Amino acid sequence: MSKIRRYLFIILGLLLTGIGILGIITPVLPTTVFFIMAAGLFIHASPRLHRWINENRLTGPFLRAYTEGKGLSRRRKASTITLLWITLLISTWFVRDIWWLLTILGLVGVGVTIHVATIRPRHDKE
């Protein structure tokens, strides 16, 4: 991996981690999805940061709950899907004249919605 790409992955991973931490504080912003994306970037760019995000006392429980199949609360599912579609709709405004990109955004939205909706529901509070 080139140095530029590695640093870009690290910067994006840290940004996504920050957004995920905001999701812990704010009830409408999802958390786990941002930590998963950050971990995915870190696994390619920095084994040290990947280990940190998985073992950290703040981010680790969210990642472990997901990877161990413990599920998501209905509230968390609803907020994740809502934020997904809000951001996708905003994105479509910027690419409204590019039909193939609109198609990709739609397919991603449907795919992620199906994935999140089919995660086993957890009945305790998050």
Q: Which helix (H) or strand (E) is 30 found in, with range? A: none
99-117 and 74-94 are packed helices; what angle lies between their axes, rounded to 10 degrees? Answer: 180
47-55 and 60-67 are packed helices; what angle lies between their axes, rounded to 10 degrees? Answer: 90
Predicted structure pTM score: 0.59
- CA 54, CA 61: separation in Å to the nearest integer? 8
Who wins on pLDDT, 25 or 117?
Answer: 117
Average of pLDDT values for 110-120?
A: 84
Who wins on pLDDT, 120 or 18?
Answer: 18
Amino acid at 86: I
pLDDT of residue 27: 55
Token pair, residue 55, equals 């073992």
Average of pLDDT values for 117-123?
A: 78
pLDDT single digits (tens) 10-65: 999 999 999 888 878 765 566 778 898 999 999 999 999 999 999 999 888 888 88
Percentage of the chain lying above the pLDDT 70 cut: 93
